[in-house]
Structure formats: structure tokens, C-alpha cells
Amino acid sequence: MPSFTLNTNLPRDKIPPNFPAEISKLLSKLTGKPESYITVAINSDQLRVFNGTPAPCASSTLEILGSVDSKKVTKEINGLIHEKLGIDFDRLFLFFYNLSGSQVGHGQSTFG
């Protein structure tokens, strides 16, 4: 159940159509979770500034059951964002939220 959300001021037409699927595949590799439990949302066209300027920037969140190697995940995910979207590393944030099974519902029940 990793849930990944990217918020960026890039316009929608600057985001490759297959980018969400690439993030999903990478998250599956990094977390060991099947893609059938991974969701990816890309929120583009946001009015955002970072360090006082509207240059391309993004912040992401990763909500996941249990913990992950946050340094490795940050390096890989932000690396892909930089490569595919061209956003400078110093204008990227990734926030981690480790959830318990009782905090995540799926279908008609929770994971804990």
C-alpha cells in the first residue's frame, strides 16, 4: 500500500504520460510491495514558489505501511523526478509517513 503523491508547479504537458507508471514500478522495486497495492498521483499546474521563486519545484509524499530506507528511496525517487521532469535536486522535497495497518483501509477492511 504505498501511496505516492507529487505536487509540482510544472504544467501538465511537461509530465510524460508514462511517468506515474515509472514511479509505480520504482516504488515496487524499492519497497518490495506489488504494484497492485501502489497508487501514484501527480498534481501539476500548481501555484508554487520555493526559495521565493516560481522556478520548477516539487514536493512529494510517500505514505506506507511499515518503514523503508528513506535515504535510498529519496535518492532513487528524486533521481527519477530530476531525470524525467528536469527539476533541480535542491528544489525537491520528499516526505515520509509510516502508517500502521489500522490506519489504512482497502476494500471493506483495514490492513490491521
Q: Return the active site residues.
A: 2
Count of other CB atoms within 10 angstroms of residue 4:
22
Complete DSSP assignment for 43-72: E-S----BTTB-SS-EEEEEEEES---HHH
Cβ-based neighbours of 70, under 8 Å, separated by 6 or more = 96
Where do the H-state alpha helices sit in the chain? 19-31, 70-85
